[in-house]
Chains A and B, each alone.
Chain A
Amino acid sequence: DGGITQSPKYLFRKEGQNVTLSCEQNLNHDAMYWYRQDPGQGLRLIYYSQIVNDFQKGDIAEGYSVSREKKESFPLTVTSAQKNPTAFYLCASSVYRGVSYEQYFGPGTRLTVT
């Protein structure tokens, strides 16, 4: 999982509570990404950021928020507005290598909301 850390590995929350997932990278990568993984649905992009203080919505941004105040950090907040937040969340980062971006992934956080 390289130089990307996600914490905690498992997270439990009650419905109606906001929760923030941590993602830190020491790879000096410019771009960072958040994905959600559900069984049988592959990876879906939530938010991504190419530079500090800038980020864009992905395919399923509703109910989520992010910040990018430092190059190394890209925390994801799952708000109470997210209707089905229980999932495996993956953070990734990438650097421009030649003519292509390769994404490197963290170990993931499994969020369970009851």
Chain B
Amino acid sequence: AQSVAQPEDQVNVAEGNPLTVKCTYSVSGNPYLFWYVQYPNRGLQFLLKYITGDNLVKGSYGFEAEFNKSQTSFHLKKPSALVSDSALYFCAVRDESSGNTGKLIFGQGTTLQVKP
């Protein structure tokens, strides 16, 4: 069965330090992977995606993600965290079982807390 896992409910990091938000996936074919961010009482905003090509994907707001096929992971990273990065982050994978419907399977979300 297809799935996405975000093993950490919350990640705490000091401002200026590098941050990593973890995501692992399970799909039978080639994964299409996405990261979204959600600020309180707002909708989700698209950050970046991996479809094919370079394993390091760069996205919005200085975020990047590294696709690792052998470890089935797609961790979100940023070299230097900002307090304003504090939010809820979701990893998602395309639902292959639904054909070409565009359905996504979302992880449970990880709260990132960046402290000054």
Contacts and interface: CB of A to CB of B under 8 A. Distances in A.
| Interface range for B | 20 to 34
Contacts of B44: 43, 90, 92, 103, 105
A78 B109 CA distance: 25
Among B32, B41, B43, B107: residue with most chain A CB under 10 A = B43
Interface in A90-107: 90, 92, 94, 96, 98-107
B102 to A, nearest CB: 3
B84 to A, nearest CB: 17
B43 A100 contact: no
A96 B102 contact: yes
Contact of B108 (A4, A42, A45, A104): A42
Contacts, number: 67
B25 interface: no
B103 interface: yes
- Dominant secondary structure of chain B at its interface with chain A: loop
B109 A48 contact: no
B102 A101 contact: yes
B102 A103 contact: yes
A85 interface: no
A107 B36 CA distance: 14
A80 B52 CA distance: 45
Given A40-B109, A58-B103, A105-B44, 8 more contacts: A42-B90, A42-B107, A50-B102, A92-B44, A99-B51, A102-B46, A105-B43, A105-B45
